Amino acid sequence: MKEKPVVTVDSLDKWREQLRRGGLELAILLSVSTTPRYGLEIIRYLQESTDLVVTEGTIYPILGRLTRSGVVEAEWISEGTPHPRKYYRLSLRGRKNLDEMLDHWNAYRSKIDHLVETAGRMEQ
Amino acid sequence: MKLSETGEARVRGYLFVLGQSLKSFLPRAVVMDAVQELESHIRERIDGAEPEPDERTALEQLLQEIGMPQRVAQAYSAEITIEEAITTGRIVPTARAFWNLATTSLLGFFPALGLLLGYLLGFGSLLTAFLKPIFPNNAGMMVVDGVPRGFGVFSDIPPGAEMAGGYWIIPILIAVGLAVLIITQRSATRFLVWWRARRGKPDGLADWPV
């Protein structure tokens, strides 16, 4: 009898998607941490810097939530632009949040790296 | 790409539908801000696009990439209403969030129905307790031949029926009403937290590409 594979292509795709989605909020905060950016600029920045393809229907609600919770600050700017743009920047509170998120991220990553290294050594 | 009058009308139509869809769930100020932001986004993309092979095709392609206005509105409203309901824990935002889920997904419909029943039972009990001193013969439990037939406030009592229970049921009704409301509200909030986590991404929508 033919055995079913433990990890199917579907489940692997789902896992990759969950992984990307889990890092999305961190990626958005990082993209506005150094300089204010507007929505389309954030989308393009994420596409160029990572493989995160983010749609408008995803990013604007997240930016709205981050603004309402005070993690980012938003400001409409119309000077020097063909259309008014809503720029987002990290707030002081957002900076603290981001630092904490990065601490967690680095700790988690080093643990996973350790697991990968250990598994690699055992295979050898 | 500089839009012709027809192209401008198409963009205005898109934004109109978006605004109308958002109005169902969100406050006016939030709707205006969301529409303004998406208009800025669309115009920014139009500026950078080429009218290839023609303006209409290029514009339709662009709007298709952004998504149908109803879908974009759904993403906005789900994110905002669920967030508000979880953060505040109040009844109105919770009811709004459940209404949103019930009208946009089958899985959200049945919990919304449960929430409605919980609210009806809770508020019904409190209302009955409040009206009992005013209409002592119309509020309470209606009993016909010793069998309970209804509960609440009745304008007409059929022949042979009587309202069981004296004023002592008032504290019981208040306690039951409050307990039902608290349990309903807490369950609703837990469901929304679960719903958002189940979706596995911050904006609470599973089938949108990220």
Give residue B65's identity as a one-letter amino acid code: E
b/e for B120-138, b at 16 or more Cβ within 10 A? Answer: ebbebbbebbebbeeeeeb
Choose from A18, A19, A40 for mutation: most chain B CBs within 10 A.
A40
pLDDT digits (tens, 9 = 90+) for A90-106: 999 999 999 999 999 99
Q: Are A87 and A72 in contact (CB under 8 A)?
A: no
Helix orientation angle between B69-88 and B91-104, rounded to the nearest 10 degrees = 150
**For B65, phi and psi rounded to 5 degrees?**
-65, -35
CB contact under 8 A, A25 and B202: yes
Give me the residue from A40, A55, A61 closest to B76, CB to CB: A61
Instruction: Please state the ipTM of this predicted complex.
Output: 0.73
Q: Which are the contacts of B33, defined by CB distance < 8 A and separation ≥ 6?
A: none
Sheet holding A37-38, edge to edge: A37-38, A85-90, A72-77
**A60 Cβ under 8 Å from any chain B Cβ:** yes
Distances (CA, A) of A65 to A91, B76, B138: 14, 9, 48
pLDDT digits (tens, 9 = 90+) for B16-54: 999 998 887 778 888 898 899 999 999 999 988 888 888
CB contact under 8 A, B202 and A65: yes
* Minimal CA separation from B177 to chain A, in Å: 33
DSSP string, B155-169: S-PPTTEEEE--TTH
Kindly report the average pLDDT of chain B as a whole number. 83
State the Cα–Cα distance between residues B59 and A61, nearest whole angstrom: 23
Q: B203: which chain A residues are within 8 Å (Cβ-Cβ)?
A: 58, 61-62, 65
DSSP string, B1-65: ----HHHHHHHHHHHHHHHHHHHTTS-HHHHHHHHHHHHHHHHHHHHH----S-HHHHHHHHHHH
A90, β-bridge pairs: A72
Per-residue pLDDT in tens (0 to 9) along chain B, 210 residues: 888 899 999 999 999 999 998 887 778 888 898 899 999 999 999 988 888 888 899 999 999 888 888 888 877 777 777 877 887 788 888 888 888 788 877 788 888 889 899 999 999 999 988 988 888 888 888 888 878 777 788 887 777 788 877 788 889 889 999 999 999 999 998 888 888 766 644 443 333 333
| pLDDT of the residue at B200 | 47
Distances (CA, A) of B118 to B91, B177, B183, B189: 12, 9, 8, 13
Q: B62: which chain A residues are within 8 Å (Cβ-Cβ)?
A: none
Encode chain A in three state secondary structure. CCCCCCCCHHHHHHHHHHHHHHCHHHHHHHHCCCCCEEHHHHHHHHHHHCCCCCCHHHHHHHHHHHHHCCCEEEEEECCCCCCCEEEEEECHHHHHHHHHHHHHHHHHHHHHHHHHHHHHHHHC
Q: A25: which chain B residues are within 8 Å (Cβ-Cβ)?
A: 202
* Minimal CA separation from B29 to chain A, in Å: 13
Give me the residue from B30, B40, B202 closest to A84, CB to CB: B40
pLDDT digits (tens, 9 = 90+) for A42-72: 999 998 888 777 877 778 888 988 898 899 9
b/e for B169-189, b at 16 or more Cβ within 10 A? Answer: bbeebeebbeebbeebbeebb
pLDDT digits (tens, 9 = 90+) for A3-30: 555 556 667 777 777 777 778 889 999 9
Give me the residue from A20, A64, A83 closest to B44, CB to CB: A83
Beta strands in B48-172 (DSSP E): 139-144, 147-153, 161-164
